[in-house]
Structure formats: structure tokens, C-alpha cells
Amino acid sequence: MSLSRPSNAFESLVPAESFFEREKERLIEEISTNFEQLMGHTNTLNRKLEEVYGVGREFTTVAALWGTFNKLIRDQQTELATSADAGVPGTGSLNFAQSTAGHPASSTAAKSDQRK
């Protein structure tokens, strides 16, 4: 018996698959497998993105707290800058120049400077 001949009558009725049909089935299977891998990788990416988003949400309260702290510090610096003319530390007065303007010793010194 030859191997090239069908062994029974049923096999002779079924047409043999052509190269095109076999290649088509192989490519369909390969595409299907690749789509399954793509879906798996896409799901993994989606989970990772959700984790990153969740971590970002955890820092919103911390960021808001630091923003409030920054605003308070900025407001204090603005207040200090506007009140910097108010006085000289350690002199006990609001403005050292104004407090010495009425003092007789300072006016005498100023007059002697003007004469020179």
C-alpha cells in the first residue's frame, strides 16, 4: 500500500487543504494569539496607570497643605516688606530718623554739618 493514496473511501471524499488554506489558518491563529497578548498587555498598562493616578490623588491633600503654607509665608513676607520702614530694631521707636529729628543734640549736629 502506498502512502500517497487514501486508505479509505471517506478520505478520498474530503478535499485536501491547499497551501493557501493552511497558511490562512496559521495566520488567523497567529493573529488571534497576538491579539490575546495585546489585550493582556493593555490590561496591565491600564492597571499601572490606575495605580499611578491613585498615588497622585494621595498627594493632593499634601500639595494643598504645602500651598496653604506657601501662601501664609508669602503673606508674612509681604507684611514684613511693607512694615520695614516702620522702625529700626532695638531703637524702641517706629522710625529712628523721625525720633531723632526733634532731639536737640541731633538738630545741633545737623546745623553744624550745614555750616561746613
> What does the pLDDT look like over 67-91, one tens digit per residue?
999 999 999 888 877 775 555 566 6
Rounded-to-integer distance, Cα 52 and Cα 58, Å = 10
Residue with cell string 491600564: 46
Cβ–Cβ < 8 Å for 84, 78 = no
The helix (H) or strand (E) run that includes residue 30 is helix 19-58
Distance CA 66, CA 85 (A): 30
pLDDT band, very low/low/confident/very high, at 1 (cuts 50, 70, 90)? very low
Instruction: Output the nine-digit C-alpha cell for 57.
Output: 490623588
pTM of the model: 0.42
Q: Mean of the per-residue pLDDT values for the chain?
A: 78
Q: How confident is the model at residue 115 (pLDDT cuts 50, 70, 90)?
A: low
Read off the pLDDT of each residue in 26-43 and give the average, rounded to a whole number.
Answer: 98
Q: How far apart are CA 45 and CA 29, in angstroms?
A: 24
